[in-house]
Chain A
Amino acid sequence: MTGVIAQSVHIESPYSAEAEAFIGDLRREYGQADYWLQPDCLDMPTLWVAPETLLPLLRHLKTEISRPFLMLYDLSAIDERLRLHRGEREAQQPQSDFTLVYQLLSLERDLFIRIKVALPESRLSVPSAIPVWACANWYEREVWDLFGIGFVGHPNLRRIMMPSTWQGHPLRKDHHARATEVDPFSLSPEKQRAEQEALLFKPEEWGMSRASDSSEFMFLNLGPNHPSVHGVFRVALQLDGERIVDAVPDIGYHHRGAEKMAERQAWHSYIPYTDRIDYLGGVMNNLPYVLALEQLAGIPVPPRAQTIRVMLCEFFRIASHLVFYGTFAQDVGQMSPVFYMFVDREKLFGIIEAITGGRMHPSWFRIGGVAQDLPEGWDKMVREFLDYMPKRLREYEGMVLKNKILQQRTRGIGVYNTDEALEWGATGPGLRATGLEWDLRKRRPYSGYDQFEFDIPTYDGGDCYDRCRVRVEEIWQSLRIIRQCLDNMPSGPYKSDHPLTTPPLKARTMHDIETLIQHFVNNSWGPVMPAGEVCVAVEATKGLNSYQIVSDGGTNAYRARIRTPSFPHLQMIPLLSRGLLVSDLIAIIASIDFVMADVDR
């Protein structure tokens, strides 16, 4: 230990062979040299380009380069105006007030890359990437809404998270973060009327006509309060009879500013907030966050902690999939399965509760490990569950999957193929239901997943039914992984000995003043993470979930970007539902398996 505040460095570059291969390919195949490769970004290759050269580069990466980057994985921005550490000497980043961050994914290369665009405050606009990727639409709206960066050529650049009447752009550093920083809120009748007026759906704004040659369309607000939209989510439907002509999903009703909160919470105290992103995923949400911080600070995680994490994550995958399974059946009108599945979930929560003390939101992972060691007798509970579950799953298969009415309702409904999935940024079971065998746990293993034996279930129909079947198969695979955790749980510490782990270990505090101070500082301020930027993705319950953390060498994040799988999935709803009936839309919504907290953050 070197001082009061531990100095730490990145762990040895995870810059893999794939990343080196990509940089070689780029140099060879992309004629221009109008980009700058940021040398100190160690989690993935990061290219900086000027706004003018952005689209040509994106297009090249998507269509021309060998083993192309078919998915626009994420798009967000950073308000750099208050940032102190932006690299030194040869790693000095270009002058920028706002930096756009495009993150691309190549499934063939198993590689993420980052494209950054520096923008001065005086000219906050770039050409829209929609011509290259259709799914850029919502991402660009989100960046416009939260940062005020314009996208030239965007067909409908309006707010997506905040109400259309909102003043300012919340993720800018000069926007207030708490209601106590501004005048008390009041709602006068006029203001209420104006707000309600702003919520009215105007078809013309979305390029819809009110009537065709033969009939007048009905516009139906499905939501934000509707039994089947799984939260507060609105789909404005253009209907011809019961047939859907077009649909406009409207999100943002569940937006709580989780990314903004990350900028004021200490590194450690933000962990409980992550639990509430995908609120069915529990500790699965903690994982990408703590993994990112561990990579940033170079904290090695002991094998026991890794295995405990894997086991709990798979428990939560089962819990989330059980909720999906039940509500999926319920949304096509089958009343009972959801009750049986909640009974199983209750059993599962009994184990979670015994281990963590919490149920849906245990917030149990810590930077450097987990909060506590496994309790005595955990193995007995887990074993009982593993023996109990298969029989139930077989019963459900007969009850739900083999039901002819359910099959008629969901087969061939809401179909997309692999190309469409990649174009629209679909990941997780929705991608695997199109026949593509791609699972991050296998392709870029994290937290020791490479030590486990499991299969990646796929089906190739790409419809609602197959999305359900993939998830059911994944429950089986998760049981398999948990069985391996149970049989091979390593011994050893449950948390790293590193000085930046939270809460700091207490063993040596009474022996010397340095560790006492370290302990005191880490407990009161929280740990100080080294400056840098890192992004870690995990295969969460609903698809790829990642936390992109920018640290400015402080006690909290300078910027935390949460990429959630449900956000791009919801954007596909119009594509999937055009020409179908309202009942089909409900089946599609059920098969996507989203929670609005995961979409809006």
Chain B
Amino acid sequence: MNTSPWAALLNIFGVLLVAVLLAALLTWGERRLLGFWQDRPGPNRVGPFGTLQVVADMIKLFFKEDFVPRFADIPVFVLAPTVVMAAMLLGFAVIPVSPAIGVIDLNVGLLFFLAMSSMAVYSVVLGGYASNNKYALLGGLRAAAQTVSYEVFMGLSLMGVVMMSGSFNLREIVQAQENTWFVLPQFIGFLVFFIAGIAESHRLPFDLPEAEHELTAGFHTEYSGMKFGMFFVGEYLSVILISALITTLFLGGWLGPWLPPVVWFLLKTSVLIALFILLRAALPRPRYDQLMHFGWKFMLPLSLANLLITAGVLLWIQ
């Protein structure tokens, strides 16, 4: 990696900017894709193919009354949405986009990501608690319970990859996939992490903290304007982050023939993002307790078994 300060700055702001822009663009992309799958046009009025919808939405969000309810716990209420944005953007720091692009090359990159994704839940829980609204409170409670149960095997599902590559460093993990992508030997780990990733980013079918049909808007019921916008962008950031991480860990990151590494990386990530959106279009939402049962009684044993088998196979090979 280039170490000149200008290149480093370019790297940092480049990744930051692209991440935020992608998240913003995704607000349009998701609606267009959903529209496509649901036999309807989706937003297609502003700009070519509706691409400027993002700008229109931003203008709308900025000019909305930034309402803080009198009954809310105001400092927490104001801070909560920033946490998710900050945590998710920090998470991007460890993602190796290509051999040349990537903000920081941490030895514990994977752990750093897990830490950041755990941080994000504070946003939801505190937002729900500080709103002093019953729907928001129920949403916050659900988020806390959901995160506690899904965090556990989210970490466990990645340990197979770590064992196979022998490193927590994401760059080394990518390089370890030179011959085979980890999605093949670690297919169970991939599935478990993918499901946990949906739960982490609170997307259908795991959008229980939000659960429009039950809790009106769940934890962000009381939020409006740019504060709501931050939750919104935070959610898309986490979708991108999880997709980028799955690409890095299981799909060989930037590796691929013919095309430049960045293109490969973006391509793989986009496919995963589209998969996220497709799931949202296709599946209903399980009940809260069913989700917990699924997590503790099915996913956790599965990821433990995966861990044991991987360890066993690795020992046997050596």
Q: Report whether B134 and A339 are in contact in the complex, using a CB–CB cutoff of 8 Å.
A: no
Q: Report whether A333 and B39 are in contact in the complex, using a CB–CB cutoff of 8 Å.
A: no
CB A400 to nearest CB in B, in angstroms, measures 8
Q: Which of B37, B38, B138, B205 contacts A333 (CB 8 A)?
A: B205
Q: Report whether A409 and B281 are in contact in the complex, using a CB–CB cutoff of 8 Å.
A: no
Q: Report whether B134 and A405 are in contact in the complex, using a CB–CB cutoff of 8 Å.
A: no
Q: Report whether B284 and A581 are in contact in the complex, using a CB–CB cutoff of 8 Å.
A: no
Find chain B residues with CB under 8 A from A227 CB.
212-213, 216
Most chain A CB within 10 A, of B215, B284, B290, is at: B284
Most chain A CB within 10 A, of B37, B141, B282, is at: B282
Instruction: Identify the stretch in A182-190, A308-316, A564-572, A582-590 within 8 Å (CB) of chain B at 4 or more residues.
Output: A582-590
**A330 CB-CB contact with B under 8 Å:** yes
Q: Report whether A218 and B134 are in contact in the complex, using a CB–CB cutoff of 8 Å.
A: yes
In the complex, A5→B22 CA distance in Å? 75
Find chain A residues with CB under 8 A from B37 CB.
336
Q: Report whether A333 and B134 are in contact in the complex, using a CB–CB cutoff of 8 Å.
A: no
In the complex, A329→B283 CA distance in Å? 10
- Indicate whether A405 sits within 8 Å of B284 (C-beta atoms), given known contacts A331-B213, A336-B37: yes
CB A230 to nearest CB in B, in angstroms, measures 11
Q: Report whether A409 and B284 are in contact in the complex, using a CB–CB cutoff of 8 Å.
A: yes
Most chain A CB within 10 A, of B37, B141, B287, B290, is at: B287
- Indicate whether A340 sits within 8 Å of B38 (C-beta atoms), given known contacts A333-B204, A405-B285, A408-B287: yes
- Indicate whether A335 sits within 8 Å of B211 (C-beta atoms), given known contacts A226-B216, A405-B286, A581-B288: no
In the complex, A332→B287 CA distance in Å? 9
In the complex, A406→B40 CA distance in Å? 24
CB B15 to nearest CB in A, in angstroms, measures 32
In the complex, A340→B40 CA distance in Å? 9
Q: Report whether A583 and B211 are in contact in the complex, using a CB–CB cutoff of 8 Å.
A: yes
Q: Report whether A583 and B284 are in contact in the complex, using a CB–CB cutoff of 8 Å.
A: no
In the complex, A583→B289 CA distance in Å? 10
Q: Report whether B287 and A409 are in contact in the complex, using a CB–CB cutoff of 8 Å.
A: yes
Find chain A residues with CB under 8 A from B233 CB.
none
CB A572 to nearest CB in B, in angstroms, measures 20
Find chain B residues with CB under 8 A from A408 CB.
286-287, 290
**B280 CB-CB contact with A under 8 Å:** yes
- Indicate whether A340 sits within 8 Å of B39 (C-beta atoms), given known contacts A333-B211, A406-B284, A581-B288: yes
A contact residues, total (Cβ < 8 Å):
27
Find chain B residues with CB under 8 A from A586 CB.
213-214
**B249 CB-CB contact with A under 8 Å:** no
In the complex, A582→B208 CA distance in Å? 12
Q: Which of A324-347 contact B (CB under 8 A)?
A: 329-336, 339-340, 343
Q: Report whether A335 and B138 are in contact in the complex, using a CB–CB cutoff of 8 Å.
A: no
**A152 CB-CB contact with B under 8 Å:** no
- Indicate whether A228 sits within 8 Å of B214 (C-beta atoms), given known contacts A218-B134, A409-B286, A409-B287: yes
Find chain B residues with CB under 8 A from A334 CB.
282-285
Q: Report whether A339 and B285 are in contact in the complex, using a CB–CB cutoff of 8 Å.
A: no
Q: Which of B141, B207, B287 contacts A581 (CB 8 A)?
A: B287
**B174 CB-CB contact with A under 8 Å:** no
In the complex, A581→B288 CA distance in Å? 9
**B158 CB-CB contact with A under 8 Å:** no
CB B88 to nearest CB in A, in angstroms, measures 24
CB A430 to nearest CB in B, in angstroms, measures 21
Q: Report whether A583 and B40 are in contact in the complex, using a CB–CB cutoff of 8 Å.
A: no
**B93 CB-CB contact with A under 8 Å:** no
In the complex, A586→B135 CA distance in Å? 14
Q: Report whether B284 and A339 are in contact in the complex, using a CB–CB cutoff of 8 Å.
A: no
Find chain A residues with CB under 8 A from B212 CB.
227
Find chain B residues with CB under 8 A from A242 CB.
138, 141, 288
In the complex, A333→B215 CA distance in Å? 12
Q: Which of B120-142 contact A (CB under 8 A)?
A: 134-135, 138, 141
In the complex, A373→B215 CA distance in Å? 49
Find chain B residues with CB under 8 A from A583 CB.
211, 214, 285, 287-288
Find chain A residues with CB under 8 A from B138 CB.
242, 582
**A220 CB-CB contact with B under 8 Å:** yes
Q: Report whether B204 and A335 are in contact in the complex, using a CB–CB cutoff of 8 Å.
A: yes
Mask for A424-436, Cβ within 8 A of B = 1, else 0?
Answer: 0000000000000
**A180 CB-CB contact with B under 8 Å:** no
Q: Report whether A335 and B34 are in contact in the complex, using a CB–CB cutoff of 8 Å.
A: yes
In the complex, A343→B38 CA distance in Å? 10
In the complex, A209→B308 CA distance in Å? 52
Q: Which of B207-237 contact A (CB under 8 A)?
A: 207, 211-216
Q: Looking across the interface, which residue of chain B has its beta carbon closest to that of A327?
A: B213
Find chain A residues with CB under 8 A from B211 CB.
333, 583
Q: Which of A570-601 contact B (CB under 8 A)?
A: 581-584, 586
Q: Looking across the interface, which residue of chain B has its beta carbon closest to that of A223?
A: B216
Most chain B CB within 10 A, of A330, A340, A586, is at: A586
Q: Which of A343, A406, A409 contacts B39 (CB 8 A)?
A: A343
Find chain A residues with CB under 8 A from B34 CB.
335-336
Mask for B264-300, Cβ within 8 A of A = 1, else 0?
Answer: 0000000000000000111111111110000000000
In the complex, A405→B285 CA distance in Å? 7
**A403 CB-CB contact with B under 8 Å:** yes
In the complex, A220→B285 CA distance in Å? 22
In the complex, A283→B145 CA distance in Å? 49
In the complex, A526→B286 CA distance in Å? 56
- Indicate whether A339 sits within 8 Å of B39 (C-beta atoms), given known contacts A227-B213, A242-B138, A405-B283: yes
- Indicate whether A339 sits within 8 Å of B213 (C-beta atoms), given known contacts A242-B138, A405-B205: no
Q: Which of B15-45 contact A (CB under 8 A)?
A: 34, 37-40
Q: Looking across the interface, which residue of chain B has its beta carbon closest to that of A340?
A: B39
Q: Looking across the interface, which residue of chain A has its beta carbon closest to that of B35?
A: A339
Find chain B residues with CB under 8 A from A340 CB.
38-39
In the complex, A343→B41 CA distance in Å? 13
Q: Report whether A336 and B213 are in contact in the complex, using a CB–CB cutoff of 8 Å.
A: no
CB B31 to nearest CB in A, in angstroms, measures 12
Q: Report whether A582 and B214 are in contact in the complex, using a CB–CB cutoff of 8 Å.
A: yes
In the complex, A405→B287 CA distance in Å? 9
- Indicate whether A584 sits within 8 Å of B281 (C-beta atoms), given known contacts A228-B214, A336-B37, A339-B38: no
Q: Looking across the interface, which residue of chain B has its beta carbon closest to that of A413?
A: B287
In the complex, A220→B216 CA distance in Å? 12
- Indicate whether A333 sits within 8 Å of B213 (C-beta atoms), given known contacts A405-B284, A409-B284: yes
Q: Looking across the interface, which residue of chain A has its beta carbon closest to that of B204?
A: A333
Q: Which of A187-242 contact B (CB under 8 A)?
A: 218, 220, 226-228, 242
Find chain A residues with CB under 8 A from B207 CB.
333
Q: Report whether A584 and B134 are in contact in the complex, using a CB–CB cutoff of 8 Å.
A: no
Q: Which of B134, B216, B280, B287 contacts A335 (CB 8 A)?
A: B280
Find chain A residues with CB under 8 A from B204 CB.
333, 335
- Indicate whether A335 sits within 8 Å of B286 (C-beta atoms), given known contacts A340-B38, A343-B39, A582-B214: no
Q: Report whether B283 and A339 are in contact in the complex, using a CB–CB cutoff of 8 Å.
A: no
- Indicate whether A333 sits within 8 Å of B284 (C-beta atoms), given known contacts A228-B213, A405-B205, A582-B214: yes
Find chain B residues with CB under 8 A from A220 CB.
134-135
CB B135 to nearest CB in A, in angstroms, measures 8
Q: Looking across the interface, which residue of chain A has its beta carbon closest to that of B287?
A: A583
Residues of B whose CB lies within 8 Å of any CB of A are 34, 37-40, 134-135, 138, 141, 204-205, 207, 211-216, 280-290
The 5 A-B residue pairs whose C-beta atoms are closest, nearest first, are A333-B285, A334-B284, A339-B38, A333-B284, A228-B213
Given contacts A335-B34, A406-B284, 15 further A-B contacts (CB under 8 A): A227-B212, A330-B213, A333-B205, A335-B38, A335-B280, A336-B34, A336-B282, A405-B205, A408-B290, A409-B287, A409-B290, A582-B214, A583-B211, A583-B287, A584-B287
Can you list 26 A-B contacts with CB-CB less than 8 angstroms, sorted by A residue number? A220-B134, A227-B213, A228-B213, A242-B141, A331-B213, A332-B213, A333-B213, A333-B283, A333-B285, A334-B283, A334-B284, A335-B34, A335-B280, A335-B281, A336-B37, A336-B281, A336-B282, A339-B39, A339-B40, A405-B205, A406-B284, A408-B286, A582-B138, A582-B215, A583-B211, A584-B287
